[in-house]
């Protein structure tokens, strides 16, 4: 998966779960009989927000406000939905009304700070967090989101200190651990890397979540023996908790110990029936092992619960292809139709795209502040910007976003109407940028094969491309169809596209893609983003 860096807020679009799906059905059933039930209406809005449908969430919050104009919670949820839709001025207004209707409304003031930071106003965000601090001085969230604003201001040490303060207040604050250690890694602060997990476990030795996440990050950086030791310790202290058993099953799969991995996955599923993340990890392991029928069954079960999960769709496609169902596989991965290059028009005020991209590239380089590649993304030997790039008020970024939006609209407009196709069935006249970032690759740089698990349409826009690529070796080319499962002779590369400055490539988020490593010393710079259906076409 690829995302754009620092978290955008406390309620964000994300992967649905079976529990969320069940909750949505309960709220909808209640409202069918009692349409004026404010609690059910707001509960449904919350579920819609958490599962990535802010447009529908805004509609539900608005209906709740129509029923009860004095509802502070209605204003608050409307503000969160407007934030997710990128309508920051309106979100600030709704959150301000929530604070007025409910004096001392800490959550509304906190979220207002979050939105101000997203609106590229980090100084005002810090002022808002200071006001919230007076209401709840010991809130770890204030230090977490304050760290984001400090980092935006270039105050790296202060940001790291703020994340550490959040963790001291809440040792099992997993998001704070994640961003702290990601930044330590990217800024080559190796002495402190992952130390927060061990310190937190001393304060909370019974935290199953900490053991699981700590082991996951150790495995990310290849410290597999330590990862196993952490899980062994966790199981000794906390018992054979399903979450730890799941983590150990993943680790045993990576080590090639299939017999033990199978037993562990079965044990974990007995304790966590219907857990979609667990089922997808088991599905992945089954594909590697060659049990495609059983893997397909799991992928189908997950698809029934969360039909738009792009990683699961990729596993479903792999199973169909490996089982020989060529028609279904081709329909999902129609490389000629679904992978589309576009030549972007030159924004006004520039002689040609070469001149514009030179200016854009110079500005983007200023945003590449880190040294190392991101810890948990697809980038290798390169850097990635933090935050939501397309939220920037920088004129060059706004200009390229406007031109890119035209291509996205054309891609969507050309989709057929097909309720049974995972890409086409979501066709909408409007869309949102759910993530946007820039990647700068150095010598040997590349992207590992991956999908964008909570997207719909994904992308690569080429800002700067080396002029000495070895085309015979496809150096720096983007490739489609080869998975990240290491299947050897079972893999396929369905299409390769040579990068060219000024070209945008669009494709389904569930389609495996990566790049061939570059050998040249010249940099390769891109902008990438994810698009989801929404009620506002980005300008």
For residue range 401-453, list pLDDT tens digits in order: 999 999 999 999 999 999 999 999 999 988 989 899 998 887 777 678 999 98
pLDDT at 528 over 60: yes
Given this model, what pLDDT does residue 189 score? 85
pLDDT at 177 over 60: yes
* pTM attached to this predicted model: 0.84
Better-predicted residue by pLDDT, 506 or 55: 506
Given this model, what pLDDT does residue 381 score? 61
Which residues are 343's β-sheet partners? 503
Strand 503-508 and strand 340-343: the pairing is: antiparallel
Given this model, what pLDDT does residue 339 score? 98
The tally of CA atoms less than 13 A away on the side-chain side of residue 275 is 16
Tokens of 421: 């196709």
Instruction: Compute the average pLDDT of residues 288-311.
Output: 95
Q: Which among 138, 139, 187, 146 has a CA at the least distance from the CA of 163?
A: 146
Given this model, what pLDDT does residue 119 score? 87
Instruction: Compute the average pLDDT of residues 349-373.
Output: 88
Given this model, what pLDDT does residue 108 score? 96
Given this model, what pLDDT does residue 3 score? 39
Better-predicted residue by pLDDT, 191 or 318: 318
C-alpha 136/C-alpha 266 separation (Å) is 44
Given this model, what pLDDT does residue 378 score? 63
* Nearest-5° Cα angle at 161, 158 to 164: 155
C-alpha 379/C-alpha 332 separation (Å) is 26
Given this model, what pLDDT does residue 536 score? 47
Better-predicted residue by pLDDT, 534 or 519: 519
Given this model, what pLDDT does residue 15 score? 45
Q: What band does 18 get if pLDDT is binned at 50, 70 and 90?
A: low
pLDDT at 226 over 50: yes
pLDDT at 16 over 70: no
Specify whether the CB–CB gap between 181 and 193 falls below 8 A: yes
pLDDT, one tens digit per residue, over 377-401 is: 565 667 788 778 998 889 999 999 9
Q: What band does 523 get if pLDDT is binned at 50, 70 and 90?
A: confident
pLDDT at 535 over 80: no
pLDDT at 346 over 60: yes
Cβ atoms within 10 Å of 131's Cβ, excluding its own: 14
pLDDT at 2 over 50: no
C-alpha 259/C-alpha 243 separation (Å) is 19
Which residues are 382's β-sheet partners? 441
pLDDT at 297 over 60: yes
Given this model, what pLDDT does residue 393 score? 85
Q: Which of 156-160, 204-208, 387-391 has the lowest mean pLDDT?
A: 387-391
pLDDT at 370 over 80: no
Q: Which of 90-94, 314-318, 350-354, 363-367 has the lowest mean pLDDT?
A: 363-367
Residue with tokens 């935006």: 152
Instruction: Compute the average pLDDT of residues 208-227.
Output: 94
Better-predicted residue by pLDDT, 470 or 496: 496
pLDDT at 52 over 80: no
* Nearest-5° Cα angle at 266, 320 to 305: 50
Crossing angle for the helix pair 276-289 and 292-305, nearest 10 degrees?
Answer: 160
pLDDT at 31 over 60: yes
Q: What percent of the chain has pLDDT over 90?
A: 76
Specify whether the CB–CB gap between 292 and 286 falls below 8 A: yes
C-alpha 194/C-alpha 117 separation (Å) is 27
Instruction: Compute the average pLDDT of residues 55-80.
Output: 95
Which residues are 279's β-sheet partners? none
pLDDT, mean over the chain: 90
Given this model, what pLDDT does residue 380 score? 66
């Amino acid at each position: 998966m690829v995302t754009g860096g620092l978290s955008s807020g406390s309620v964000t679009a994300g992967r649905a779960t079976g529990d969320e799906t069940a909750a949505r059905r309960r709220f909808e059933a209640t409202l069918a009989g009692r349409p004026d039930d404010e609690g059910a209406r707001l509960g449904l809005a919350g579920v819609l927000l958490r599962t990535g449908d802010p447009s529908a969430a805004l509609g539900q919050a608005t209906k709740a406000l129509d029923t009860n104009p004095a509802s502070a919670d209605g204003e608050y949820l409307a503000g969160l939905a407007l934030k997710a839709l990128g309508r920051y001025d309106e979100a600030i207004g709704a959150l301000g009304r929530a604070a007025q209707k409910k004096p001392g409304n800490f959550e509304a003031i906190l979220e207002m700070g979050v939105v101000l930071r997203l609106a590229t106003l980090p100084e005002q965000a810090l002022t808002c967090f200071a006001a919230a601090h007076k209401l709840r001085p010991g809130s770890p969230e204030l230090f977490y989101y304050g760290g984001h604003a400090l980092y935006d201001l270039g105050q790296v040490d202060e940001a790291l200190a703020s994340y550490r303060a959040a963790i001291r207040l809440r040792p099992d604050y997993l998001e704070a651990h994640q961003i702290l250690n990601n930044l330590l890694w990217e800024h080559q602060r190796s002495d402190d890397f992952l130390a927060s997990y061990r310190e937190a476990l001393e304060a909370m030795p019974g935290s199953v979540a900490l053991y699981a996440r700590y082991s996951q990050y150790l495995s990310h950086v290849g410290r597999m023996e330590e990862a196993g030791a952490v899980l062994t310790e966790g199981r000794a202290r906390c018992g054979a908790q399903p979450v730890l058993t799941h983590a150990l099953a993943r680790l045993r799969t990576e080590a090639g110990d299939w017999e033990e991995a199978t037993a562990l996955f079965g044990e974990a599923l007995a304790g966590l029936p219907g857990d979609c993340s667990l089922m997808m990890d088991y599905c992945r392991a089954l594909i590697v092992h060659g049990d495609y029928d059983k893997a397909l069954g799991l992928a189908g079960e997950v698809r029934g619960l969360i039909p738009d999960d792009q990683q699961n769709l990729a596993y479903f496609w792999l199973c169909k292809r490996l089982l020989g169902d060529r028609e279904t596989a081709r329909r999902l991965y129609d490389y000629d139709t679904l992978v589309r290059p576009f030549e972007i028009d030159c924004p006004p005020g520039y002689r040609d795209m070469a001149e514009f991209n030179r200016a854009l590239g110079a500005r983007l380089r200023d945003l590449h502040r880190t040294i190392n590649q991101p810890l948990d993304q697809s980038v290798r030997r390169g850097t990635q910007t933090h935050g939501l790039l397309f939220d920037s008020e920088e004129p060059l970024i706004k200009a390229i976003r406007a031109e890119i939006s035209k291509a996205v609209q054309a891609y969507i407009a050309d989709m057929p109407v097909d309720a049974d196709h995972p890409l086409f069935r979501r066709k909408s006249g409007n869309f949102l940028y759910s993530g946007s970032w820039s990647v700068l690759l150095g010598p040997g740089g590349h992207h590992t094969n991956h999908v964008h698990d909570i997207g719909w349409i994904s992308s690569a826009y080429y800002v700067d491309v080396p002029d000495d690529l070895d085309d015979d070796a496809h150096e720096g080319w983007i490739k489609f169809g080869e998975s990240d499962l290491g299947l050897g002779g079972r893999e396929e590369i369905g299409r390769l596209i040579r990068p060219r400055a000024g070209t945008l490539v669009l494709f389904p988020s569930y389609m495996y893609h990566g790049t061939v490593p570059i050998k040249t010393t010249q940099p390769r710079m891109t902008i990438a983003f994810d698009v989801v259906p929404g009620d506002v076409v980005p300008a």
